[in-house]
Every structure is written in C-alpha cells, then in structure tokens.
C-alpha cells in the first residue's frame, strides 16, 4: 500500500508542512520505501519530482521541504511496491496530456491483474504498474466520451466517478487525479481531507515533532484543502471521504460530491 | 533564441560539468533569462526539472549541478522568450507519451505563426509557444504514420527528418528530441556535437572557470556524446551538424545521419 497527499488552495501555497510529515512515512515512520513523487501545478504548467529512493533519505525530498514551491494544486505519493519493480518509470504520480491540460494521477491500493486486459486506444503505460495502467484507461475513457472538454464540469465529475466505480469492482482504488484547476479524490478504503481557513491556529504533525502556527503563515482569506490517506495532524478534525465517493475540489472548495448509487 | 544541451551515453553518466557551463548562459554569460529545463532518462522513466526563473540564479539548477543525476539520455534547454509568456507551461523541454515511451523535446529558433494553423488530432499544446505546438505536430504525424512503433529505427529517423524539413520551411528549427534510447538532433542554423571517449584528457569550460580531467571520472569503455547550440569547451574538437541534417544517437554512438535531399 502507499500514501497519498493532495492539496487544493485558493492562493499559491507551499505544502512543506504537510510534505514534511508525509516524507517521514517513506521509510521513517512508515514502510513506504519504494520511491515517492510530487507534482505542483503553477497555472497550467506542472513541476514534478520523482525519486525511486525512500523519501525519508532523499536529497530531492529534503530540497523540496526546505525550498517552498508555491502551488494551488499538488498531487503527491509515496510508494510501497506491490505490482511493478522499484524504478523511475513505476514511480507515481503519472502524467498525460488531454485537451491541452496535463493530468496527474496517483493511486493507493491494488487492482486485480485483469486490469491489464482492459483495452487501451490512446494512452499506453510506460512502466509496469496496475496504477499507471488504470490511469491510462481512465484517460482513454475520458477521451472517447468527450473528444473535447465538456464545459459543464459536473459532467466530468460524474463520468470520472463511473470510471472509478468500475475500477473499484476489481480491487482497492484510492486515487488523486488533478488537471491544474480540479482535484478529484476517490476513495475505496481510506482517504481523508481537511480545509484550513481563518481563524487559523497551531497544528502539530503526527509523524515528526513539527508544529506550525498558520496564523503567521497566512492571510485571512486563504483557504487550503489537504487530502491524505491518513490524517497528518493531531489537533485538527479530518473528514473521511466515503467508500465509493468522488470528492472534487477547486481552489480549496469542495465543488462536487458524488456518492455511489444505492 | 535559446540554448540546447543534449547527452547520449553508453553508461549512466552525470552531466554536471556541461550543465554548469550551460546554466551560466541563463542570465550569466548569456541573455537567456526566461527559464530553463532539463530531463534525464533512467531506463524508460523520466526525471525532469523546469524553472521559469533564470538558470544562473536558480536554486534547482544549483541543486542539480551539485547532486549528480546519472542518465544515459539528457535533453536540456535555456530560454530567451520570443513567442509565449515566461511561465512554467512555456518552459522546455516538453514531454508526451507515444507507444508507451515518454518523448521529450526542446527547440531553439522561431517559426512563422502559420504553425498555429497546422492541424492537430491527438496531441495539444498546454502553453502558447510555437515550439510546443511544433512538438505536438511531430508527435501527431508520428502517430498517424505509425499506429505502432516501427521495428526498423531507420524508418523512424527518416520520417522525423521529413517532419523537421517541413518545419524548416517556416523558420529556424534546431531541436533535440529523445525517447529513452534514441536522441534525435536536427539543425537549421547551429548545433554541435562531440564524443568523449578514451583516451580522456582535461577540458575547460568556456563559460566559467571550471576544468575537469575525465581520466579520473570515467572508465576506458565509457562513451559520452554531448550536443549543444555552441561548443561548450575550449580544448575539444566539436563537429557541426549540417543545415537540414538529422543526426541520431543511441548510447553515445551516431547511428543515423540523414541529410536533406539535394
């Protein structure tokens, strides 16, 4: 299993604080030694870092946690390999271009090997993971359904939800999917989120002895949503995304919430 | 105009030495202040860094030049903007997946604005540069011509050469294009290359007071080809790629050389 971390903010925000907690889980407080990656959107551009080495001892991870990169949308992942060797091409997050946007994807869970028989037309995996294959399949489905980007984003959410529900039938599928504005978070087993906004207070990371008082770091209109496999802090009230739910965030706000058909 | 730097090597090699010279041109010894990027292949995986800030003062560029990343294929670029704003999505190199390989592209030159009328079907630009548009067009052409990757790589070289020749009719098109094994280098006005192999000696960068004695850095079977807009060193004999020539390298060797029809 792996750990996911996502961020959606209404102003460019650095994720150093939450990332410091996550990187400890990569071989430090957690068993996820098989690489890590993080992707930061700046406008439609993407800045991404990948390392097949454990995040807790990675020089690039250390560089990122010391040199704030401000972004309104972040997708990050640390890996404990189950399918696919430990190498760069198997390191999440994965990216593909669709409709002139770079889409970025990270997955926690494991899918039945039948996924590798699902047909692909437009997008093909570079590595050998079930995760990248599932991502290519979602991108393929989106492209087939919408040759052009739909103007109604709710249509997009509903279609992505249907794809995720199909993937859930063959395994554990917790995912983060981003495209510069929208961050889609789908849960099968565990995925939590929190919105940080005024009044800000002091919070402490679970994974290392670091506290931050967001009062000194933010202005009163700032809003930052953080999504993670497990709550990262002690003193905040994290909300669980339901099993089979797709929660979609834009500039920190929860803009769509789709639950499974009952 | 911009500066290109490419490397093709038969063993994973760090490009710190040549990159140190290039990064000085990004606002130091050269006028290319509008961002820089570098992409390193490790197997089929790609590790890339982009920064819209000048390379000579970039913390990420400094990190890379101090922390060797070993690779057999590198594509790098520093930018002096002509078309498109200075931002992350307009920062080379650009990447797209085709046939399960990540293709990476950097361009030096300027194309007539008619490029933006050339039809695209599969790949669309994220930013607003003529360069990324031309890259999407090449990828589109490749995909149309070869729905699957051709087993004969010479066919690929010939087809890429034809695309480049068409682009040369509408402007200056010096480019580097890589896909994990092959590095394609096409020249309109300026592009030079050198192969470094035994017997190795000491060489000195033109752009900063740095020398390296490759004897101490290499083993006798190592071969490293470096391609650059202008020769980077004083004491080596660089060869020019001819106007309209596509030179293709694999593991440091020049494996194909296609000249324009006369």
pLDDT in tens, A159-196: 999 999 999 999 999 999 999 999 999 999 999 999 98
Please report the pLDDT score of residue A239 as a whole number. Answer: 96
Query: How does pLDDT run across A100-126, given as a tens digit for each residue?
Result: 999 999 999 999 999 999 999 999 999
- Of residues A56 and A135, the one with the higher pLDDT is A135
Chain A residues touching B59 at Cβ < 8 A = 63, 67
Please report the pLDDT score of residue B41 as a whole number. Answer: 96
Instruction: Identify whether the C-beta of residue B94 lies closer than 8 Å to the C-beta of residue B175.
Output: no
**Pairwise CA distance, residues A109 & A168, whole Å:** 10
Please report the pLDDT score of residue B232 as a whole number. Answer: 85
How many percent of chain B have pLDDT more than 70?
Answer: 90
Closest by CA to B65, choosing from B215, B225, B212, is B212
Note whether B127 contacts A50, CB cutoff 8 Å.
no
Please report the pLDDT score of residue B33 as a whole number. Answer: 72
Note whether A126 contacts B44, CB cutoff 8 Å.
yes
Structure token digits, residue B243? 């106007």
Please report the pLDDT score of residue B205 as a whole number. Answer: 74
- Of residues A48 and A56, the one with the higher pLDDT is A48
Note whether A43 contacts B89, CB cutoff 8 Å.
yes
Whether pTM exceeds 0.80: yes
What is the strand order of the sheet A101-108 is part of? A94-98, A101-108, A174-178, A182-186, A246-250, A253-258
**Pairwise CA distance, residues B47 & A47, whole Å:** 11
Mean pLDDT score across all residues of chain A: 89
Please say if the pLDDT value at position A145 is more than 90. Answer: yes
Tell me what the mean pLDDT of segment A204-224 comes to. Answer: 75
Strands A45-51 and A36-42: antiparallel
Please report the pLDDT score of residue A103 as a whole number. Answer: 98
Please say if the pLDDT value at position A1 is more than 60. Answer: no
Instruction: Please enumerate in sequence order all residues whose Cβ is within 8 A of that of B22, keeping only pairs 6 or more positions apart, or say none.
Output: B3, B5, B55, B76, B78, B207, B228, B232
Give the residues across from B90 on adjacent strands: none
CB of B43 less than 8 A from some CB of A: yes
Chain B residues touching A53 at Cβ < 8 A = none
Note whether A88 contacts B47, CB cutoff 8 Å.
yes
**Pairwise CA distance, residues B74 & B226, whole Å:** 9
Q: Residues in chain B with pLDDT < 50?
A: 1
Instruction: Identify whether the C-beta of residue B258 lies closer than 8 Å to the C-beta of residue B246.
Output: yes
**Pairwise CA distance, residues B178 & B74, whole Å:** 8
Please report the pLDDT score of residue B226 as a whole number. Answer: 93
How many percent of chain A have pLDDT more than 70?
Answer: 90
Per the listing, tokens 């922390």 go with B67
> Domains of chain A by range and CATH?
3-258 (3.60.20.10)
Burial class (CB in 10 A: 0-12, 13-18, 19+), B165: middle
Please say if the pLDDT value at position A18 is more than 60. Answer: yes
Residue A52: HSE in the Cβ half-sphere, 13 Å Cα cutoff: 15
Residue A260 DSSP label: P
ipTM of the complex: 0.90
Rounded to the nearest angstrom, the minimum Cα separation between A118 and chain B is 16
- State the catalytic residues of A: 2
3-state secondary structure of A94: strand
């Amino acid at each position: 299993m792996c750990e996911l971390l996502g961020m959606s903010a209404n102003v460019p925000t650095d994720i150093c604080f939450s990332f410091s907690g996550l990187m400890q889980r990569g071989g430090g407080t957690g068993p996820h030694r098989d690489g890590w990656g993080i992707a930061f959107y700046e406008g439609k551009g993407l800045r991404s870092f990948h390392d097949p080495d454990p995040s807790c001892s990675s020089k690039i991870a250390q560089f990122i946690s010391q040199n704030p990169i401000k972004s309104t949308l972040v997708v990050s992942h640390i890996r404990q390999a189950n399918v696919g060797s430990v190498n760069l091409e198997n390191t999440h997050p994965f990216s593909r271009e669709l409709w002139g946007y770079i889409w970025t994807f990270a997955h926690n869970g494991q899918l039945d090997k039948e996924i590798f028989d699902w047909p692909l037309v437009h997008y093909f995996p570079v590595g050998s993971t079930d995760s990248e294959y599932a991502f290519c399949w979602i991108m393929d489905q989106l492209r087939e359904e919408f040759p052009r980007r739909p103007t109604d984003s709710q249509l997009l959410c509903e279609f992505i939800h249907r794809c995720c529900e199909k993937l859930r039938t063959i395994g554990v599928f917790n995912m983060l999917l981003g495209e510069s504005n929208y961050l889609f978070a789908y849960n099968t087993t565990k995925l939590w989120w929190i919105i940080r906004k005024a009044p800000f207070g002091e919070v402490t990371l679970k994974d290392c002895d670091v506290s931050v008082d967001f009062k000194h770091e933010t202005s009163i209109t700032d809003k930052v949503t953080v999504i993670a496999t497990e709550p990262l802090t002690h003193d905040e009230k994290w909300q669980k995304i339901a099993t089979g739910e797709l929660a979609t965030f834009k500039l920190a706000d929860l803009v769509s919430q789709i639950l499974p058909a009952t």
